[in-house]
Each structure stands twice: as C-alpha cells, then as structure tokens.
Amino acid sequence: MKRLIIVRHAKAEQGGYDRDFHRKLSENGKDDARNIASELKKREISPDYIISSPADRALTTARIFAEVFGFSRQDILEMKGLYFDFTTLEFVEMIHDVPDRCDTLFVFGHNPFIYFVAENMSQSFNGDMPTCSTVVLDFNVTSWKKIEPRKGHLFLHLYPKLLT
C-alpha cells in the first residue's frame, strides 16, 4: 500500500499579494501546522518522503511537520510546479518518480490546486480545504508508478477547526 498525504499550507499573513511567493505563516498558522502534524503522529502517520512548493508559507508548513516527525528538513524536496503550475497529470508524473522504498508521501501546496488534487486523486473526497487541511489517501498498489487519479481511498481528512 502507498499512502499520499496532501496538505494545504497553514494560515499565512494577510495581504502582500504582490509578493505572494514570500508570504510568511501567521502565528496561528504555525500553531495549526504543529497541531495537525501532532495529530497525525499520534495516529502513527509519518512521512518517508516530503515534497513541497518552494513558496515560503508551504515550505514553512512542511518544515514544521518535519520537525514534529523528526524528519530532516534538508530532505524536503522543493518542487516549483506545486506553486500553481502543475496540472493533475504533472502531479501524477511527479508521484511516479517517488522511490518505491518510501510508503508514505507528504505533499504541501496551495489552493485551488491542492483541493483539485485531493478531489482528483480520491474516489470520494468532496470536502473543503481550508488552510492546513490534510487529506490522507491510501492506494492499493506496491509502486508509486501505479498511482492513478480517482483510485485513492479516503482514509482521513483533518483541518484545524476539527481539532479544537
């Protein structure tokens, strides 16, 4: 089984859309990221591999998750296409390149794309993706190369208000 965890970045500072790529997380966003990561850790869901958009708010969210899991920040792979550029097909091609020794992949990105990925990779996801939303999808395959859209089984959907 391969497990894909799709995470929308945590809450970022408002405004500054002319410098969107460099928007920082708010303090609430940092707390939300720690809380969601801690909940996943409590449920024994942890990364073997992390890929993130290089935009500050997504990468900082990924680094907070990595810290909670004891995952090396230097091992986070930054993928420029996750910053609004990828199509679902390109996202699937990215996943196909993940080494098969890794069973659990975390991907950090932005709405609206990250919502479309959750919806398109799942058989049944139809929820919302507020900031720091985390969708856990299970695929009944042994290789990342066999991952296909609409084949993921929704295992879990977490978001900050759910934990309060």
Mean pLDDT, the chain cut into blocks of 10 residues (164 residues total)? 98 79 92 97 98 97 98 96 90 97 98 94 92 98 97 96 78
Is the distance from CB of 83 to CB of 53 less than 8 angstroms?
A: yes
DSSP structure class, residue 157:
E
Give the number of domains in the chain.
Answer: 1
Could you give the residue ranges of the DSSP H alpha helices within the chain?
A: 27-42, 56-69, 88-96, 113-121
- Please state the pTM of the whole predicted model: 0.96
**How far apart are the C-alpha atoms of 103 and 46, rounded to whole Å?**
10
Which pLDDT score, from 0 to 100, does residue 17 have? 62
For position 134, which CATH number holds? 3.40.50.1240
Which pLDDT score, from 0 to 100, does residue 19 have? 80
CA torsion through residues 58, 68, 72, 4, sign: negative
**How far apart are the C-alpha atoms of 39 and 114, rounded to whole Å?**
20
Q: Which residues of 51-80 are buried (b: 16+ CB within 10 A; e: fewer)?
A: bbbbbbbbbbbbbbbbebbebeeeebebbe
Both tokens of 71, joined, read 């995952």
Full domain range(s) for residue 146: 2-15+22-163
Both tokens of 96, joined, read 């196909």
